[in-house]
Homo-oligomer: A and B are copies of this chain.
Amino acid sequence: MKKSNKISTSPLISYETLLAQFQQLLRSNNLKFTKQRENILHAMYNHTGHFTPEELYRFIKSEHPELKTGIATIYRTLSLLENAGIVTSISFGTQGKKYELGVKAHHDHIICTNCGKILEFYDEAIEKRQEKIAKEFGFIMEDHSMKIFGICPQCQKK
C-alpha cells in the first residue's frame, strides 16, 4: 500500500478543454476574452515546466510582436489565472516567482541550487503530518509550501 512519488510534466487536459475552462471563468466574472489572454494561456500550455513572468513576456513578444503585449498584462493575467487555480507559482524570494500550468494535483518542489532545475513530488506522509501539526496548534490550515534545496545528480557529476 505504499504510495510512490510521481513527477508529472505534461498537461493532463487538451488545449481545447483548458481554453473552454478559461473562457467559462472569464464569462462568469464579466471579464473579456482578449487576444493577449489567449496568447498567454496558449504559450503556457505549450511550455513544459516553470517559467518567470519575464520569460513568458519575452516569448509572447517574439511570437506576437504586432500586439506589443506589455509586461503588466503578463502579470495581470498570471494573477488572474493563479487566483482561478489554473496556474500555480513558486516563490524565490527577491528573485521573484516561477509559474506553471496548475492543472496538476498539489505537489511540493525539490530544487537544484546549482542549475535551478525544479522537480515535483507529492508525499502523502508529509501531507498528513502537516495537517496534524496545524490541528495541534489549533490552526485552520489553508495552504502550505515546502521546498527542498540541494544538488541534483547531473550537477554532482560535474
Binding site for B on A (CB under 8 A): 5, 91, 93-94, 96-97, 110, 112-113, 119, 121, 123, 125-126, 129-130, 133-134, 136-153, 156
Contacts and interface: CB of A to CB of B under 8 A. Distances in A.
B146 A144 contact: yes
A147 B90 CA distance: 13
Count of identical protomers in the assembly: 2
A113 B142 CA distance: 9
A142 B121 CA distance: 17
Nearest to A89: B93
A133 B149 contact: no
B149 A143 contact: yes
A121 B137 contact: yes
A145 B144 contact: no
Given A93-B91, A123-B129, A5 B149 contact: no
A146 B149 contact: no
A118 to B, nearest CB: 11
Candidate in A110, A133, A151 with the most chain B CB atoms within 10 angstroms? A133
21 contacts: A5-B133, A93-B93, A110-B134, A113-B143, A125-B125, A126-B130, A130-B148, A133-B148, A134-B148, A138-B156, A139-B151, A139-B152, A141-B148, A141-B150, A142-B151, A143-B149, A144-B147, A145-B146, A145-B149, A146-B146, A146-B147
